Amino acid sequence: MSGIAHAAASAGARAIRLGGPWLALLALVLAAALAFGVGRYPVSLLDVARVLLGRLTGHAPDVAPAVEAVVLQIRGPRIAAAILIGAALSVAGTAFQGLFRNPLVSPDILGASSGAALGAVLGIWLSLGVLAIEGLAFAGGLLAVACVYGLGAALSGRDPVLVLVLAGVVIGSLLGAGVGLIKYLADPYNQLPAMTFWLLGSLSGTHPSDLVPLAGPVVLGTGLLLLLRWRLDVLSLPDEEARSLGLATGPLRITVVAAATLVTAASVAAAGIVGWVGLVVPHLARFLVGPGFGRLIPTAALLGAGTLLTIDTLARTVAPVEVPLGILTAVVGTPVFLWLLARAERDWS
Amino acid sequence: MTLLDAADLAFGYPGREIGRDLSVHLAAGEALALLGPNGGGKTTLLKTLLGLLPALAGTIRVEGRPLADLTARERARAMAYVPQAGASAFAFTARAVVLMGRTSRTGLLSAPSRADHAAAEAALARMGIAHLAERPVTRLSGGERQLVLVARALAQDPRIVVLDEPTASLDFGNQGRVMAEILRLRADGLGLIFTTHDPNQAARYADRALLLRGGSALAAGPVAAVLDAPTLGRLYGAPVEEVRDTGTGARAFLPQGNSR
């Protein structure tokens, strides 16, 4: 084979790898501009810029009050939530895929989503308020992962990672049965639709006050994973190899699990179950910048934010009624995942 | 100079002792072969010497300091481990894999520094695989992957390199090539420990050998002294034949076979 062609191809691949994070950032900026502009009440990009600039400088913007309300009160919080959740789920998924050395792992592998789902349907069944429901979802997610981790530690044999994943599967299906039971017992006219809507995921009705309980855990967990990203390459090696390279794998593993669980539980509590993003976006990012976690994690964050924001914009514009996020992420995620599977069949590169 | 010194060592897993009453000694610039049949405890002993498994009894000293007192980071700066080249979950480039060798010399939250990159390049060049730097390790041959792992160990800048069956998955020609590259490291004062189940490997490449059977030492010492047909016969529990080239003095051992 011609070495020149090979060299040119690898030079091209390197250029893409270097530019990958910037490409992802550009996509996010475009997605945000689109999200501010389109909807039942179209707003020109110029007006969006005026409102945001006015907000930053403290001057009253020269636009209609309705425009300002749409940008700041309705679309702004929703866009911020989509960016936070998309970035959080993607970073958590990327870190988990490295930690479990398995590219088919998603952030809810240890039961964070199923625990949060049980907490939320319990809250709806007990007719609690929105904040209490989100609190229960958050607590359920953390509790489920704590159970899985405790079970994994108690049963830990030769392969702690395998035991952990299997414990996650078992606990997850038990929690799923709990969700099923509560849905069966719920009032079919009021509570059941609310549960179903919540389980499918949505960002509709995101209020500015919702951002605080979401942003706190998400910024903390995602920030931690961003800081640790250079060590994740080694953490993806077999445990003894990683330790022989000087990494204290035990504490690091617990930190990564805790951070990923925190952001997943917070995301589920705010938006319900948003599947696929944490599984597919890490692959897209790896496709852009390669498997090295140092560059992969920031790229996944930007790409995930842009992806979920775009999907949420579709969710509120493609049909007269809101389409649940979980349905759209599945519809978009499945073909993308199959395409990646076909491309990367040799080695998940 | 003594790099590694283990005395009255018992090793194994909690509740399951695999070997006991072992002494291991390694000097700078020396290659030690751990030789024995499969299941004789070679790999478990290796992991114990590396500090990956706690010793059940006895003391291990690395450059005079008790191994148990060292942190993972300090251990990695003294000893590098070259595992058998297995499948990788992710298609890291050879350069990225070698850069992982710098983990114990980089801060927990820091990106690899310019010095780390330079050390990785130097290690690649030293093993003669600089041209493979950009290739994903999943696309390399077994011999190339093994050299990448040795380069990673060099990037660690250790005093001791510990290799688990360094040639197990290699073809005949690559076995010689890889071992020749590894043995050149002795010239810089590195100490080498490798496991093998092949007495010819030990005879050809090691200075001293520790013959391990059922977890205890059958014999230990310079290879010329401890490797002979009767001892090897006892080690493997099967007759072994020695052949010698009367001209060069080179020796080889053959397993039991049909004599025609």
Residue-level pLDDT at A163: 83
Task: Tell me if A234 sits within 8 A of B65, measured CB to CB.
Answer: no
Domain for residue B72, yes or no?
A: no
- Read off the pLDDT of each residue in B82-91 and give the average, rounded to a whole number: 82
Q: Where are the domains of chain A?
A: 18-343
Q: How far apart are CA A92 and CA A79, in angstroms?
A: 20
Strands B208-213 and B31-35: parallel
Alpha helices in chain B (DSSP H): 42-49, 72-78, 94-99, 114-126, 142-155, 172-183, 199-205, 223-226, 229-236
Nearest neighbour of B103 by CB, restricted to A10, A245, A292 = A245
Q: Which two tokens stand for residue A269?
A: 């509590």
**Nearest C-alpha in B relative to A227:** B109
Shortest Cα distance from A337 to chain B (angstroms)? Answer: 17
Examine the predicted complex and report whether its ipTM is higher than 0.85.
yes
**Nearest C-alpha in A relative to B156:** A245
Q: How far apart are CA A288 and CA A292, in angstroms?
A: 11
Q: Are residues B175 and B246 in the same domain?
A: yes
Domain end call among B108, B137, B158:
B158
Residue-level pLDDT at A349: 44
Report the residue count for chain A: 349
Q: Are residues B176 and B227 in the same domain?
A: yes
Shortest Cα distance from A123 to chain B (angstroms)? Answer: 40
Task: Tell me if A71 sits within 8 A of A48, measured CB to CB.
Answer: yes
DSSP class of A72? I
Yes or no, beta carbons of A240 and B77 under 8 Å apart: no
Query: CA quadruple A5, B92, B78, B186: dihedral positive or negative?
Result: negative
Residues facing B241 on adjacent strands: B254
Over chain B, what is the mean pLDDT? 90
Q: Are residues B141 and B181 in the same domain?
A: no
**Nearest C-alpha in B relative to A100:** B89
Q: Are residues B163 and B244 in the same domain?
A: yes
CATH code for the domain in which residue B175 is found? 3.40.50.300
Domain end call among B116, B137, B158:
B158
Q: Are residues B164 and B258 in the same domain?
A: yes
Residue-level pLDDT at A104: 77
Domain for residue B74, yes or no?
A: no
In three-state secondary structure terms, B254 is: strand
Q: Are residues B171 and B242 in the same domain?
A: yes
Between residues 48 and 107 of chain A, which touch chain B (CB distance below 8 Å)?
A: 98, 101-103
Residue-level pLDDT at A348: 47
**Nearest C-alpha in B relative to A347:** B91
Strands B216-222 and B208-213: antiparallel
Residue A220 contacts B where some CB pair is shorter than 8 Å? no
Nearest neighbour of B81 by CB, restricted to A244, A247, A292 = A244
Q: Which residue segment(s) compose the domain that B170 sits in?
A: 1-63+159-260
Q: What is the domain count for chain B?
A: 2
* pTM, full prediction: 0.87
Find tokens 């050395």 and name the residue: A101
Yes or no, beta carbons of B139 and A245 under 8 Å apart: no
- Read off the pLDDT of each residue in B60-69 and give the average, rounded to a whole number: 93
Residue-level pLDDT at A1: 38
Which of A24-33, A97-106, B3-12, B219-228 is predicted least confidently?
Answer: A97-106
Residue-level pLDDT at A212: 85
Q: Are residues B134 and B169 in the same domain?
A: no
Yes or no, beta carbons of B83 and A231 under 8 Å apart: no
Domain for residue B76, yes or no?
A: no
Q: Which two tokens stand for residue B61?
A: 């000293």
CATH of A18-343, one of 3.30.565.10, 1.25.40.10, 1.10.3470.10, 3.40.50.11900: 1.10.3470.10
Residue-level pLDDT at A15: 66
Q: Are residues B209 and B240 in the same domain?
A: yes
Task: Tell me if B4 sits within 8 A of B45, measured CB to CB.
Answer: no
Domain end call among B130, B158, B186:
B158
Residue B73 contacts A where some CB pair is shorter than 8 Å? yes
Per-residue pLDDT of chain A (349 residues; tens, 9 = 90+): 344 545 555 666 666 667 888 889 999 999 999 999 888 888 888 888 888 888 888 877 778 888 888 888 889 999 999 999 999 999 999 998 888 887 777 887 888 889 989 998 999 899 888 778 888 988 998 899 889 888 887 886 667 777 888 888 899 999 999 999 999 999 888 889 888 888 888 888 788 888 888 899 999 999 999 999 999 999 999 888 999 999 998 899 889 988 998 898 889 888 888 888 999 999 999 988 989 999 999 999 999 999 999 999 999 998 888 888 988 988 888 898 888 777 765 544 4
Q: Are residues B149 and B177 in the same domain?
A: no
Yes or no, beta carbons of B104 and A102 under 8 Å apart: no
Q: Are residues B42 and B95 in the same domain?
A: no
Residue B79 contacts A where some CB pair is shorter than 8 Å? yes
Q: Are residues B166 and B259 in the same domain?
A: yes
Please check the confidence at residue B94 and state whether its pLDDT lies above 90: yes
Q: Are residues B173 and B144 in the same domain?
A: no
